Structure 1
Amino acid sequence: MIPLSTSIVAGVALSQINGETKMLLMKRSKGNYWCHVAGHIEGEEKAWQAIIREFKEETQIEVCQLYNGQILEQFFEANVNVIQIIPVFAVLCPPEQTVVLNHEHTEYRWCSLQEACDLVPFPNQREVYQQVWQSFVLNKPHPLFEVDIGSLN
């Protein structure tokens, strides 16, 4: 039997940078690969609360518009024999969003969909980016995708 883990959340930030929609990628200090924001749910947090906290910790982005990305990032972690199932959120940032990285990342880039897909090592990352691009850039997100973050306060 292979255990399932559902203790991680992920989020893809989108912003208008120099008039073009871009997604945020960061290079992880540990592993030296490009990725989006992700982290563990702590205590009694709901998934959406965890991703808001992770965005603040990793990038100093204050999440104002949060959406269910309508995709689960999933992969098998062979070294610990666990299948990770990770809900993905989309964060719609104001234009020219600033980023301040914490120690978990060494650099960041605002990327087009193609640039993002070219940078990341994992096929599931590319699927996530394509889904987010389709649902939040090429199309207007359905109102049911929006997460009511007002109850966080």
Structure 2
Amino acid sequence: MIPIRCKTVSGVALSTIDGETKLLVMKRVKGGFWCHVAGTVEAGETGWQTIVREFGEETGIKVAELYNGQYLEQFYDATTNTVMVVPVFVIYCPPNQTVTLNDEHTEYRWCSLTEAKGLVSFPGQQALYDHVWRHFVQGHPSALMRIHVP
């Protein structure tokens, strides 16, 4: 048997940078790979509260417009013999959103879809970015997917 675990959430940030819609990717210190925001749910937190906290910690972004991304990242972790499932959130940032990285990342880039897919290492990230682009950039999500952040 292979257990399924869900202890982490992730989030993709979108902003209009110099007139073009871009998504945020950051280069992690640990592993040296490019990724979006992610973090472990702490005791007493909901998933959406976790991603709001993680965006603040990792990027300095104060989340105001948050959506259920209607997407689950999933991967097999050979070290623990588990399938990890990660709910995804999407945030819309104001135009030309500033980013202040914490010590988990060495650099960041606001990227077009093609640029972001070219930087990331995993097929699952590329599929996620395609999903976000299709439903949150080319289309607009249902109001029912909005999570109201107090």
Q: TM-score range by the shorter chain?
A: over 0.9
Equivalent residues in 2 for 1:9-88, closer than 5 Å: 9-88=9-88
1:6 alignment partner in structure 2: 6
String of CA shifts for 1:90-110, please: whole Å, max 9, x gaps.
010000000000010000000
Task: Give identity over the alignment, percent.
Answer: 57
Task: Quote the offset at 1:81 in angstroms.
Answer: 1.1
Q: Distance in 2 between matches of 1:142 and 1:117?
A: 25
2:117 alignment partner in structure 1: 117
After TM superposition, the score normalised by the length of structure 1 is 0.96
Q: Distance in 2 between matches of 1:52 and 1:103?
A: 18
After TM superposition, the score normalised by the length of structure 2 is 0.98
2:101 alignment partner in structure 1: 101
Q: Distance in 1 between matches of 2:134 and 2:23?
A: 13
String of CA shifts for 1:21-78, please: whole Å, max 9, x gaps.
0000000000000000000000010000000000000000000000001110000011
Tell me which stretches of 4 or more aligned residues in structure 1 moved more than 4 Å: none
| Alignment-mate amino acid for residue 80 of structure 1 | T
Q: Distance in 1 between matches of 2:82 and 2:54?
A: 22
Task: Quote the offset at 1:140 in angstroms.
Answer: 1.4
**CA RMSD, 1 decimal:** 0.6
Secondary structure at the aligned position of 1:149 is classed as coil
Q: Distance in 2 between matches of 1:88 and 1:35?
A: 13
> Which structure 1 segments of 5+ residues have no match?
none
> Which structure 2 segments of 5+ residues have no match?
none
Q: How many residues align?
A: 150
1:141 alignment partner in structure 2: 141
